[in-house]
Chains A and B, each alone.
Chain A
Amino acid sequence: MAVSLSKGGNISLEKAAPGMTNAVIGLGWDPRTTDGAPFDLDASVLLLGESGKVRSDADFVFYNNLTGDNGAVQHQGDNRTGEGEGDDEQIHVALGQVSADVQRIVVVASIDQADARGQNFGQVADAYIRVYDADDPHNATKGLRFDLGEDASTETALIFGELYRHGGEWKFRAIGQGYAGGLANVITQFGLQVG
């Protein structure tokens, strides 16, 4: 059984998924039924150095930059609707190939045109993030999962969680922190500027 984390919890990836070298970060959500504009949620990751900032804009892996850190991090593309079973978006991380100066990999989800459409994460249900072994994807005993619950309300972007180095190993932390200013607000926290 995959480890289930609560908000703020953390766990060593070696404990959650022994022997994992290629991790898949899967995110899922179900927009509540509305009669308004369709939801479009986007997953993205930021690769942070010791300063807590990105080293360059190439460390922001998103729908217009699907690879990061020389291919060690790969965004698998955009799911525009959030419909269907399974993960809505996935990011592959080759843990052993991540540059030594990348200390954290922060996973963010945001709602496209949230302000214009009057949408927020309060209208999104069953959001989760999970990490599992890409080389052993059907092993239900390996991996971890964090269900974000129904805490969000007016936020238009959420940091779901992060991978981080600690004591020579990779760990995962469940975060679930919301931002009202959308993706632009989140990434500026990490040293990027939108344009």
Chain B
Amino acid sequence: MTRTPAGARTDLPFLRGRSLRPAQQPSTPPVPGPTAAPPPTSASLDLSAPAAATPPTSSSLDLGAVPAAPPATPPGGTSLDLFDDEPAAPQPPDGGTSLSLAAPSGAAATPARSPHGHTRPLRHDLGLPTIAAGERRLLTEHEPVLELTRMQSAAGAIEAKVAVSNPTEVVLGIVFETADGRESLVLPGLSQQGPDPRRPIFRATSGGVAVDLRRITDIHRVLLFAVPTRPSKQMPGGTVTVTTYGGSRLEIPLVAGPTLGAQALLSGYVVEGRLVLRAEHDPYSGTLQQVCAAYGYREISWRDPYTPLV
């Protein structure tokens, strides 16, 4: 990720639409995002991506219903004894508000200062497509990006699974960078929980991968990738689904064909508490090491091009 000296992120334009990376030009100025990293030594990973995502197609952030379990009856019939005639305690809802994260028109103005001298971080309207609860969305090459709201980004977990005819032919993994700069990955059979197995944020099993969003503030960025399990490294065709706590489902095509061992699928960045996801639609595969390096995960040591030292 690229940051200005002041800490402001400059990779959002990249996330919205990445243009073709120039061929081997050492003097090229840094490009924000994963493609800022030069390609690995085997130049097999041209990670050029389709052009910009179209403007948001859905500005509604009504995130749909959450199963409305009734409040537990306070033990012992302890109803609220509100002995004045003032505003009552919680009232039943008559509908949710929109969860628009659009900043007020003056949001980009001078940061507000808290009563204790803290500067309130600016809120930006990322202007990216969003997804409502229960909605299904195919992340196409033309619309590969969306953002989750702060609540979607922080509630429950997101889970990615593979839908192919023979699920044993491919596994999913996640390479990630934590907020404190640690890079690692999870992959079934290798390192199934990370970064701390005692309190994992990322879990990988043969059935898929999951990210515990309760700890979203500990995450900087992630990359979801697929690894074919056949000796031929043939990727089966199918779909990778990513579901949120509210039941939203993103779908990413898994293209059948030969690979070099790993295929990047979906990158994610935490931007001001919001998870911004981008389907990579990367036409090139590579060894796992190459894929990680191509997307800027270079602080990982490797036993061999397919096996990280975790």
Asked if B120 contacts A56 (CB within 8 A), the reply is: no
Asked if A56 contacts B99 (CB within 8 A), the reply is: yes
Rounded to whole Å, the gap between the CB of A135 and the closest CB of chain B is: 9
Task: Tell me if A181 is interfacial: C-beta within 8 Å of chain B.
Answer: yes
With both beta carbons as reference points, the residue of chain A lying nearest to B275 in the complex is identified as: A64
If A52-B91, A195-B63 touch, whether A63 touches B217 (CB-CB below 8 Å) is yes
Asked if B86 contacts A164 (CB within 8 A), the reply is: yes
Q: Across the interface, which residues of B come within 8 angstroms of A9, CB to CB?
A: 83
Report the count of interface residues on B (CB-CB < 8 A): 63
Asked if B81 contacts A62 (CB within 8 A), the reply is: no
With both beta carbons as reference points, the residue of chain B lying nearest to A96 in the complex is identified as: B115
If A8-B82, A92-B115 touch, whether A64 touches B153 (CB-CB below 8 Å) is yes
Report the count of interface residues on A (CB-CB < 8 A): 63
Asked if B150 contacts A189 (CB within 8 A), the reply is: no
Task: Tell me if B101 is interfacial: C-beta within 8 Å of chain A.
Answer: yes
A67 to B111, CA, bound (A): 12
Asked if A71 contacts B75 (CB within 8 A), the reply is: no
If A97-B115, A164-B87 touch, whether A71 touches B69 (CB-CB below 8 Å) is no
A136 to B273, CA, bound (A): 33
With both beta carbons as reference points, the residue of chain A lying nearest to B84 in the complex is identified as: A10
Asked if A166 contacts B87 (CB within 8 A), the reply is: yes
A185 to B118, CA, bound (A): 31
Task: Tell me if B121 is interfacial: C-beta within 8 Å of chain A.
Answer: yes
Q: Across the interface, which residues of B come within 8 angstroms of A194, CB to CB?
A: 63, 66, 133, 151-152, 155-156, 245-246
Partner-binding segment picked from A28-36, A124-132, A149-157:
A149-157
Rounded to whole Å, the gap between the CB of B28 and the closest CB of chain A is: 36
Q: Across the interface, which residues of B come within 8 angstroms of A113, CB to CB?
A: 214
Q: Across the interface, which residues of A come within 8 angstroms of B81, CB to CB?
A: 7-8
For B90, give its contact among A64, A67, A177 (CB under 8 Å). Answer: A177
Task: Tell me if B3 is interfacial: C-beta within 8 Å of chain A.
Answer: no
Task: Tell me if A176 is interfacial: C-beta within 8 Å of chain B.
Answer: yes
A78 to B218, CA, bound (A): 12
Q: Across the interface, which residues of A come within 8 angstroms of B92, CB to CB?
A: 189
Asked if A173 contacts B82 (CB within 8 A), the reply is: yes
With both beta carbons as reference points, the residue of chain B lying nearest to A24 in the complex is identified as: B116
Asked if A65 contacts B150 (CB within 8 A), the reply is: yes
Nearest 4 A-B pairs (CB), nearest first?
Answer: A195-B246, A8-B81, A94-B115, A181-B69
Q: List 22 A-B contacts (CB under 8 A).
A: A22-B116, A52-B87, A52-B90, A56-B98, A64-B150, A64-B153, A71-B114, A74-B118, A78-B217, A173-B86, A177-B80, A178-B72, A179-B72, A180-B71, A181-B69, A188-B96, A190-B90, A191-B96, A192-B151, A194-B151, A194-B152, A194-B155
